[in-house]
Structure 1
Amino acid sequence: MTAPQARKPEPAAGSSAAQDFFIPDLCRVRAVFMLLITSELLVLLMSVVQARSGWIDWNYFGLLSLFVQWTVLTSTALICLLRQRLARLSTAMATAAVAAIVLADVLTFSLFADSVLYPEPGISGWQGIIKKLLMALLITLMVLRYFYLQHQWQQQQEAEMQARLTALQARIHPHFLFNSMNTIASLIASNPEQAEEAVLDLSELFRASLRTEQRLISLAEELTLCRRYLAIEGLRLGDRLKVNWQIDADVSQQAIPPLTLQPLVENAIYHGIQPRPEGGTVDIEAVRNGNSVYLMVRNPKPADGAAGHDGNRMALDNIQSRLQALFGDRAVLKHSHQQTIYTVTVRLPWQRAGAASNAGQP
């Protein structure tokens, strides 16, 4: 078993180095718990092999379990405290440093244990210590190799997800482009100030559709985008379009992928308002319930047989794919029909945009 040899690029800062470090954060309770469970399973296996009669040597299991737990806990604590410094080293140097920490820890506890159990260990005692050191070295290198491969796999998944999100977001092209341009053209002569405002709103919408470097923005930003879109459609539809907003104040900083709510509002107008001579009302609601935030867009259900297009299904699939990539199963998108009302609901895990990294969390 050899240590990984690949060298990392030099990090710009300590915090970013720690994020790119292949060894996970061992200060977390979950990481320590998994290490303890794994080490106990290894002790159990060795106790079964060691047993001369019966299935397991319980005396051997108790002593070895105590020794392994202490060495695992102390080694983990030392690596946790030194993680920032270890992250600045190359992969090979960090591997050697961690192995040295573990071996020093095992040697210390071995000498202490032998001094208590065997005051005069002799040659056989030193042979036992050397065996413990060799076993600790092999196990440490195997664990570090697993951490390294896991880190490489996560980086590959991250790159693939970024490319997928960029491709999905680049496919967003609002259907109202030509109608908006015709509306703006008709306003230039009669109301140039209103036409100029509409052009600014339209430019903001397309700037958002081309902004692929941001994975998550605040719900407040997305709602501002929706209002710009509705302002443009209001010029075209006039009194036929009515909007009812129900937005909780404490959800404004909810993290949301760009252009998640706006396409739903766009579909509501295209399918629910535009085909109706009398128009209708679009309800936009955002509420928080515990650790989840619910976004709902309601519009009148199109009449049976009304002309439609595949853009509605494509928009929903696009949004669902992005939510799945960023939040996993914690985010849900569903649509339903209730009598004359069509509703699209998005459930997001509560997460502040300021605290959410643009790298995203499942």
Structure 2
Amino acid sequence: MLTDQGAGTSDFFVPDLCRVRAVFLLLVTSELLVLVLAIVQAEAGWIDWNYFGLLSLFVQWTTLTSAALICLLRQRLARLSVARASLSIVAIVLLDVLAFSLFADSVLHPQPGIAVWQGIAKKLLLALLIVLMVLRYFYLQHQWQQQREAEMQAHLTALQARIQPHFLFNSMNTIASLIAVNPDKAEDAVLDLSELFRASLRTFDQLIPLARELDLCKRYLAIEALRLGDRLTLDWQIGAGLEHQAIPPLTLQPLVENAVYHGIQPRPEGGTVRIEAQARGNFVYLLVQNPKPDQNDRQHEGNRMALANIQLRLQALFGEPAVLKHSHQNDIYTVTLRLPRQSANGRGNARTRT
């Protein structure tokens, strides 16, 4: 998910007009409007090409200069209320249109008359209507984006609060059985379980380093290994230099949990869970493999819900570059994550289990 540059501008409803994509969209939209006006203006034929050329030159210059002024004043505008910021932007655009109209008419009409001033007034009125419509669109788009982020945060909170009762009960029973025979392992299990609960309560992190997420997976698997014993085999394939790769919290751990719960636990002979992380070009690929779960098992529905939840969060944070896929091949179930290569801002990575 792209965020606005500059402190204090992330909540501003007008997109960052310093970006090439935003300016390009404005130019394309304004050019389509010019095309419509040129078609309407034509008295003979489909389009008045002279009118189209002159109006295109005028509109493109006013669009570019207005975008540049709003870009330069963005941080100041972001400190204002929505109403004051909108009025300021309207004033900037109208003054820009007025300046270019006076310049153009001084070249084309050295001695302006009433008709010239009427033409300028029409340009200002048209610019006012267009700016108001564009600002309204920006405001609604911003409100939709905020709602989407709120929904994403709600999904994250729900996911972080979803420590399965069966896992909690199994873990407590395992710890209780170890207290008498192996108190050191029981203590380690308590520490691992507390770390899992601590992670479920951290709802303010949007991105964390991959090392922290992997540490959480290792703590979860250490607890499950106490219960499953030799039935659980782990295969770690983690590439070098990925410790600070940005990943949403509780993204990989639920996939590992599903791999154990759906792929290992129902099988008397157990199986292997493979966790892989590799960098390829501008992306990092994360892979979780386990024996294919039983499609008739009702628990598989929970697996699909977890995948949909993670997919929603990835799209909200990274956009289209982030991909989540799952597949079956040769009785092996694979979930693959593709994340754009970037570092997390999070600090204080959890202690890595050895």
1:95 aligns with 2:86: yes
Matches within 5 A, 1:113-262: 113-173=104-164, 175-262=166-253
- Whether the aligned pair in 2 keeps the contact of 1:263 and 1:315 (CA below 8 Å) is no
Residue 293 (structure 1) aligned to one of 273, 284, 299? 284
Residue type of the partner of 2:51? Y
Task: Give the conservation status (yes or no) of the 8 Å contact 1:220–1:253.
Answer: yes
Secondary structure of 1:18 counterpart: coil
Q: Is contact 2:209–2:247 with CA below 8 Å preserved after alignment?
A: yes
Letter in 1 for 2:56: S
Structure 2 counterpart of 1:52, from 22, 27, 43: 43
Match of 1:11?
Answer: none
Shift, 1:257, TM fit: 3.0
Alignment of 1:99-114 (within 5 A): 99-114=90-105
Separation in 2 of the partners of 1:103 and 1:198? 67
Counterpart of 1:331 (choices 320, 323, 335) is 323
Q: How far is the alpha carbon of 1:299 from its aligned partner?
A: 3.3
* Kept after mapping to 2: 8 A contact 1:23/1:148: yes
CA distance in 2, matches of 1:139, 1:277: 68
Q: Is the 8 A contact 2:254 2:306 kept in 1?
A: no
Alpha-carbon distance in 2 for matches of 1:58, 1:252: 59
Of all paired residues, the percent bearing the same amino acid is: 67
After superposing the two structures, state which structure 1 stretch, 112-121 or 262-271, moved more.
262-271
Residue 172 of structure 1, CA deviation: 3.8
Is the 8 Å Cα contact of residues 39 and 48 (structure 2) preserved in structure 1?
yes
SS in 2 for 1:252: coil
| Superposition RMSD in Å | 2.6
1:301, 1:110 → 2: CA distance? 69
Q: Is the 8 A contact 1:205 1:229 kept in 2?
A: yes
Indicate how the Cα distance of structure 1 residues 334 and 174 shifts in structure 2: closer, same or farther if over 3 A, else same: farther
Residue of structure 2 equivalent to 1:310:
298
One-letter code aligned to 1:321: N
* 1:69 paired residue among 52, 55, 60: 60
Quick check: 1:216–1:353 contact (8 Å CA) kept in 2?
no
What amino acid maps onto 1:198 in structure 2?
A
Deviations 1:305-345 (A, max 9, x none): 9xx8533441342133222243266322313141xx52322
Q: Which runs of 5+ in 2 are unaligned?
A: 347-354
In 2, the alpha carbon distance for the partners of 1:234 and 1:175 equals 15
CA distance in 2, matches of 1:165, 1:28: 30
How far residue 72 of structure 1 moved from its aligned partner, in angstroms, is 0.9
Q: Quick one: distance in 2 between partners of 1:138 and 1:276?
A: 67
Instruction: Tell me the distance in 1 between the aligned counterparts of 2:44 and 2:307.
Output: 62
Residue in 1 aligned with 2:352? none
Q: 1:232 to 1:346 in 2, by over 3 A?
A: same
- Following superposition, the deviation at residue 96 of structure 1 comes to 1.6
Counterpart-to-counterpart distance in 1, 2:252 and 2:275: 9
The AA in structure 2 aligned to 1:315 is: N
Report how far residue 270 of structure 1 moved: 4.0
Q: Secondary structure at the match of 1:285?
A: strand
CA drift at 1:246: 0.5
Q: Which amino acid aligns with 1:335?
A: S
Equivalent position of 2:334 in the other structure: 344
Change (3 A) 1:255 1:134: same
Measure how far apart 1:242 and its partner are.
Answer: 2.9
Secondary structure of the residue that 2:274 maps to in structure 1?
Answer: strand
> What SS class does the counterpart of residue 203 from structure 2 fall into?
coil
Structure 1 distance, partners of 2:263, 2:135, is 57
Q: Is the deviation greater in 257-266 or in 198-207?
A: 257-266
Please give the TM-score of this superposition, normalised by the length of structure 1: 0.84
The aligned counterpart of 1:30 is 21
Distance in 1 between the 2:127 and 2:36 partners? 15
d(CA) in 2 for partners of 1:130 and 1:174? 70
Residue correspondence of structure 1 range 264-275 to structure 2 within 5 A: 264-274=255-265
Q: Residues 280 and 164 of structure 1: is their aligned pair in 2 closer, same or farther, counting only changes over 3 Å?
A: closer
The alignment partner of 1:183 has SS state of helix
1:29–1:210 Cα change, 3 Å: same
**Aligned equivalents of 2:345, 2:183: Cα separation in 1:** 42
| Cα pair 1:169 1:212 within 8 Å, conserved | yes
